[in-house]
Amino acid sequence: MSKIIIANWKMKLSLEESLRLASAINLGIKKIKSKNKVIICPDYIALSLISLSLNEPSFSLGAQNCASKLRSAATGEVSASSLKELGLDYVILAHSERRLGQLESDKVINEKIKMALEASLKVIFCIGESWEQRRTNKTKSFVIKQLREGLKDVKLKKGSDLLIAYEPVWAIGSGRAMAPTEASDLARIIKLEAEKILKQKIKVIYGGSVNRENASDFLKEKNISGLLLGGASLEASELLEICSI
């Protein structure tokens, strides 16, 4: 079955590196004829250049964030509608690096999700527990709280308009991925809760230290519909290897 592979480049590449990597991935996906849906999320500047320079790209493009308002005196922000105007399909929201680094609250995240959907972007909504929450057995209650607050009063036209990325914070960039069977179990719980809230079929993907060695173990799990990759998406050969699973 076809899966969703999302590359989150964060702020890890120079503009030139982003353009080079995008073009290598574009050619590579065409060559391997990947059956998976691939979504590349560069920083804003690379995003606009890539979207304007690639003709019939072999992947979809997504942003790593958007503003919670449509138009406002919000210096440095980019609105969901401008991203849509650029031709984007997706936006990652609520990544833990934004929740923690930019102090994004569940309330702001909820506003961003509504704004992105209104602009007809598909949302990749990130949730996940910290190591402390895991250690004290609060994983399940915490991710359910993130879901309920982030998705409060959210109405979807189609289930495919929103995708949940389950990313345990302690697994991101640490080299310590969650065991695939445990991730699958949590994905099942998250899916059930999200479907109850949204009244649509919802897909859940996993992220956190996935690489070419462990990717197939996650993709084998039936509750896991795809992967959100950070480090493993920064090199064309590793990303393409994962896309060809």
What does the block give as tokens for 231?
């480090």
Q: Is 132 assigned a catalytic role?
A: no
Nearest approach in angstroms of CB 71 to ligand PGA is 29
The size of the chain, in residues, is 245
State the Cα torsion 81-66-194-138 to the nearest 10°: -170
Nearest approach in angstroms of CB 132 to ligand PGA is 18
Nearer to ligand PGA, 138 or 212 (CB): 212
Nearer to ligand PGA, 87 or 173 (CB): 173
What does the block give as tokens for 220?
């084998």
Q: Is 238 assigned a catalytic role?
A: no
- Selected catalytic residue, list 95, 97, 104, 241: 95
Return the DSSP state at 10.
T
Nearest approach in angstroms of CB 226 to ligand PGA is 12
Which amino acid does the sequence have at 84? K
Nearest approach in angstroms of CB 221 to ligand PGA is 17
Contact 158, 200 (CB under 8 A): yes
Which amino acid does the sequence have at 101? G
Nearer to ligand PGA, 28 or 128 (CB): 128
Q: Which residues bind ligand PGA (CB under 6 A)?
A: 8, 167, 172-173, 207-210, 228-232
Nearer to ligand PGA, 12 or 188 (CB): 12
Q: Are strands 122-127 and 226-229 parallel, antiparallel or unpaired?
A: unpaired
Q: Which of 89, 108, 99 is nearest to 41 (CA)?
A: 89
User: Which residue has the CB atom at the shortest distance from ligand PGA?
Assistant: 230
Burial track 126-161 (b if 16+ CB lie within 10 A, e otherwise): bbbbbeebbeeeebeebbbebbeebbeebebeeeeb
- Selected catalytic residue, list 104, 167, 193, 241: 167
Nearest approach in angstroms of CB 44 to ligand PGA is 17
Q: Are strands 122-127 and 162-166 parallel, antiparallel or unpaired?
A: parallel
Nearer to ligand PGA, 106 or 167 (CB): 167
Q: Which residues are catalytic?
A: 95, 167
